[in-house]
Amino acid sequence: MFENEIEEYERLRQNYQQIVAGKMSREQWMEYNEILFSAHSCAIEGNSFTVDDTRILREQGMAMVPVGHSLLECAEMADHFRAFDYVVNHLHLPFDEALLKETNRLLTEHTLAYKVTGAVAGEYTTEDMAAGDTVFGDHEQLIARVPALMESTQRALADGQHPLVVAARWHGFFEYLHPFRDGNGRTGRLLSNFILLRAGIRFSLSLLRTAATISRPYGKSGPRARMSIWWPSSSG
């Protein structure tokens, strides 16, 4: 399954490694990716920072004058830097709920209180949620499935499944569960790349289309129809 996508992914990755990534030092490469990844990941959630704005904030920190941006956007981007640094410097950690919660805590620590009164960064939601025209469902039932998702993902990696397939599937299932009050998208994107980085695959934003193809909803029935690939039954 996904043989064509994996073949295309490997071709793109090898070319990108040879032409771009392999000619940079690790420090330069990670700084480049931190700025690009943070800018685009936060932009998906509505942050107005451009790549140049993100670079300036990364270089100047609190000395930056955020012309045309809210302080909340600055704090969100600064939190993303902290979470990014945590993820790339802790690849030795197990892929478990502790990693998941700490990543989300760092991502939302200085913004969540302004968005949701009483919510705690890094802790699961205590109420059902909706975004736009999407209602995520019973939060208790969804959160109860997080441990199985983390454990089955770890098993899939240990079984030698291709890390791109594992990362894309985990991301799709995680976003379906949507366990946190805020930051689910950013958390999912960071930990998908944690899976790739731990497998020795460098960040590459140019490869996201291939990953999106693999994590695309599985027909009209959506993710539920394919949960049995990894997830144990409710009775298990």
All domains of the chain in start order, with CATH? 3-229 (1.10.3290.10)
Helix, strand, or coil (residue 159): coil
Asked if 173 and 149 touch (Cβ cutoff 8 Å), the reply is yes
Question: pLDDT for 49-88, tens place per residue?
Answer: 999 999 999 999 878 888 889 999 999 999 999 999 999 9
| pLDDT on residue 1 | 66
pLDDT of the residue at 20: 85
Nearest CA-CA partner of 83 in 7, 10, 180, 163: 180
According to the model, what pLDDT value does residue 225 have? 36
7-16, 41-50, 64-73, 219-228, range with the lowest pLDDT: 219-228
* Element containing residue 12 per DSSP (H, E): helix 3-19
pLDDT at 228: 38
Express the helix, strand and coil content of the chain in percent, nearest 5 each: 65, 5, 35
Residue 205 in this model has a pLDDT that exceeds 60? no
The band of 203, judged by pLDDT with boundaries at 50, 70 and 90, is low
pLDDT in tens, 166-202: 999 999 999 999 999 999 999 999 999 999 999 888 6
Task: Give residue-wise pLDDT tens across range 38-59.
Answer: 999 999 999 999 999 999 999 9
What digits encode the pLDDT tens for the residues 105-154? Answer: 999 999 999 999 999 999 999 999 998 899 999 999 999 999 999 999 99
pLDDT of residue 2: 79
What is the model's pLDDT at position 131? Answer: 87
Chain-centre distance of CA 155, in angstroms?
19
Closest listed residue to residue 224, CA positions, set 172, 188, 179 = 172
- Please check the confidence at residue 221 and state whether its pLDDT lies above 70: no
What residues contact residue 203 under an 8 Å CB cut-off, 6+ apart? 29, 30, 33, 37, 193, 196, 197
**Residue 145 · residue 157 · CB < 8 Å:** no
pLDDT of residue 29: 86
Virtual torsion, Cα 103, 109, 113, 116, nearest 10 deg: -10
Rounded Cα–Cα distance for residues 104 and 85 (Å): 13
The larger pLDDT score, comparing residue 224 to residue 58, is at 58
